[in-house]
Structures are given as structure tokens and as C-alpha cells.
């Protein structure tokens, strides 16, 4: 048998061994392995201690008052509006939010004080280049464009005349 601590399944093997759910052949193989493995012996002893403590533990009886208070709380929850039930008893306190708000305000103030002032009027106006446009030249260009558009346009269909006239 391979050591369960090296294969990574020590929890499964130890729980199966100490709870008695191993087959007799698996139990015998694990006991032979524990004879030569001190680590597995210690883990098995610790697991047996846990199981014996759980076996010795007795539950205290549940009081009738517990049942009544539980049912009363369930009924109280059912009477709450749906939006309060969604929050699940979440309560909000402003105490932790105040330092966060102060820190945010301090950072915003520091940012605003650090930003350099922007002057609304530029110191010098940029030089504007103007070109003298000849009105006759613009008129000739527009006439040329009209001529080109007429060449691109499809030819008009011949007009129909009534027959027999």
C-alpha cells in the first residue's frame, strides 16, 4: 500500500479507517502500512481521539422556548416587506463611511489645488492667413461643375405623343 500522505488522500483513508467503513482487506493493508509509518500512526491516533470525543458528546435537549421563538421569528420575517427581506438584516452605519468621505474630499481638494490655472484668453492671437478670392474665378468653377454634372446625368426619355394626332 502506498502512503496516503504522499498520494494526497490521507483524509479519506483515515476517516474510512477510524469510522470502520473500510473493507477487511483494506483495513488489514492499512494496519500493515501503519506498522512501518509513524506519520500515519499519529494521524490515525488523532483521528480516533476525535471520533471518541464525538461519540462521548451528548446534545443538550432543545427547549420548548427555542421552538416558540424560532417560529415567532419566522412569522416576523414573513411580515416584513419584500425589499427588507432581500437585504437579509443588513444594517448600514455611517460611522465607517465618514472617514472614507473625508479622505475622498481631501484627495479631491489636493487635486484641485495642484491643477494649474488655465487662462481663458490666450496671450497672443494666432496669425490668420487670408486669401484673396476672385469672384469671377469661383463663378467659372461652379459653371464647369454644372457642365460636368449634365454630362454624367442620364439622357432624358423621349416624350410620348398620343397616336393619331
Domain positions in the chain are 4-56
- Within its chain, how far is the Cα of 66 from the centroid? 39
List, for residues 68-99, the tens digit of each pLDDT value. 898 998 898 888 777 777 766 666 677 778 88
Half-sphere exposure of 133 (CA within 13 A, CB side): 7
List, for residues 94-151, the tens digit of each pLDDT value. 777 888 888 999 998 888 887 665 555 556 656 666 777 788 888 888 888 888 887 7
Question: pLDDT-derived band of residue 162, with 50, 70 and 90 as boundaries?
Answer: low
pTM above 0.85, yes or no: no
Structure confidence at residue 95 (pLDDT): 78
Which has more confidence, 156 or 77? Answer: 77
pLDDT for residue 164 is more than 60: no
Distance CA 7, CA 164 (A): 109
Structure confidence at residue 137 (pLDDT): 83
Structure confidence at residue 98 (pLDDT): 85
List, for residues 17-36, the tens digit of each pLDDT value. 888 888 899 888 888 888 88
Which has more confidence, 154 or 16? Answer: 16
Helix, strand, or coil here: 128?
coil
pLDDT for residue 63 is more than 80: yes
Contacts of 17 (CB under 8 A, 6+ apart): 27, 30, 44, 47
Structure confidence at residue 59 (pLDDT): 84
Structure confidence at residue 120 (pLDDT): 59
Structure confidence at residue 156 (pLDDT): 63
Amino acid at each position: 500500500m502506498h502512503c496516503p500522505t504522499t498520494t494526497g488522500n490521507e483524509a479519506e483513508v483515515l476517516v474510512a479507517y477510524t469510522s470502520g467503513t473500510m473493507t477487511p482487506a483494506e483495513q488489514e493493508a492499512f494496519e500493515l502500512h501503519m506498522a512501518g509509518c509513524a506519520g500515519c500512526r499519529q494521524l490515525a491516533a488523532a483521528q480516533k481521539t476525535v471520533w471518541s470525543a464525538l461519540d462521548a458528546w451528548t446534545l443538550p435537549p432543545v427547549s420548548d422556548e427555542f421552538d416558540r421563538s424560532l417560529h415567532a421569528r419566522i412569522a416576523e420575517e414573513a411580515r416584513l416587506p419584500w425589499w427588507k427581506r432581500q437585504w437579509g438584516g443588513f444594517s448600514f452605519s455611517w460611522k465607517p463611511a465618514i472617514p472614507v468621505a473625508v479622505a475622498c474630499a481631501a484627495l479631491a481638494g489636493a487635486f484641485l489645488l495642484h491643477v494649474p490655472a488655465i487662462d481663458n484668453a490666450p496671450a497672443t492671437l494666432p496669425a490668420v492667413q487670408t486669401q484673396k478670392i476672385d469672384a469671377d474665378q469661383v463663378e467659372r468653377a461652379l459653371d464647369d461643375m454644372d457642365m460636368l454634372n449634365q454630362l454624367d446625368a442620364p439622357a432624358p426619355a423621349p416624350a410620348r405623343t398620343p397616336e393619331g394626332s
